[in-house]
Structure 1
Amino acid sequence: MAKTVTRADLVEALARRANMQRTDANRLLTRMLEMMQDALVDGDTVKLSRFGNFNVRAKRQRIGRNPKTGEEVPITPRRVVTFRPSQMMRDFVEKGGRGRAKS
């Protein structure tokens, strides 16, 4: 069964691989995520080389349907975050991560 990688897992791996304290690793990860969030809120694209791109997409208002009642309901316009993996990431996942040691 696939495991869910949590924020705590990322902090632990970062601390171990970079030989730093967990508190420092947590601060670093938090700041990186905040910078990504700020960029997305501003409508910028977050491009991580060899990983993928995060974009914000504006969705228009549309009519949806309540599945229980069948009633038509307007869905308000909103902004959504999308992720498009790089070709390198797609190839890496398709091959099961072969070619790089896991820690």
Structure 2
Amino acid sequence: MTKADIAEHIQASTGLSKKESAEMMEAVFSIMKSTLESGETLKISGFGSFIVKQKADRRGRNPQTGESIIIDARKVLTFKPSMVLRQAINGTAE
């Protein structure tokens, strides 16, 4: 599914124009992006949580040369689905 597909679904369910639906979707994605950029957790009830985690420096190895290297610290984004979403995906929704 693409952003265009999502905008079409929004249009079909709300009756808004295609342009308004796309603008609404972009606004929601913008809010989500800025929230995650600031390091906050984004929790959407019934869907799941997006969590920004900090990874420390760690020792790694170049597989071609076998040389030991240090992998820099970085932030990673993880997603933990809600129980409702898990059940829906597995077909066990009540």
TM above 0.5:
yes
Take 1:65 and 1:14, find their aligned partners in 2: how far apart are those partners?
A: 47
Aligned to 1:89: 85
Task: Describe how 1:73-84 pairs up with structure 2 within 5 A.
Answer: 73-84=69-80
TM-superposed deviation, 1:68: 2.5
Q: What is aligned with 2:52?
A: 56
Which digits, 9 at most, give the CA deviation of each residue in 1:30-70, with x for residues without a partner?
11011011111111111101000001000001011222332
Counterparts of 1:60-71 in structure 2, within 5 Å, are: 60-71=56-67
Which of 5, 9, 16 is 2:5 aligned to?
9
2:47 aligned with 1:43: no
- Aligned partner of 1:29 in structure 2 is 25
Stretches of structure 2 lacking an aligned partner (at least 5 in a row): none
User: What is the rounded CA distance, in whole Å, between the counterparts of 1:71 and 1:22 in structure 2?
Assistant: 54
TM-score, normalised via structure 1 length: 0.83
Range 66-75 or range 41-50, more displaced: 66-75
**Deviation sequence 1:4-38 (CA, Å, 0-9, x none):** x1111111111111111111111111110110111
Unaligned 5+ residue runs, structure 1? none
TM-score normalised over the length of structure 2:
0.91
SS in 2 for 1:20: coil
After superposing on structure 2, the runs of 4+ consecutive aligned residues of structure 1 that deviate more than 3 Å are none
- Amino acid across the alignment from 1:33: F
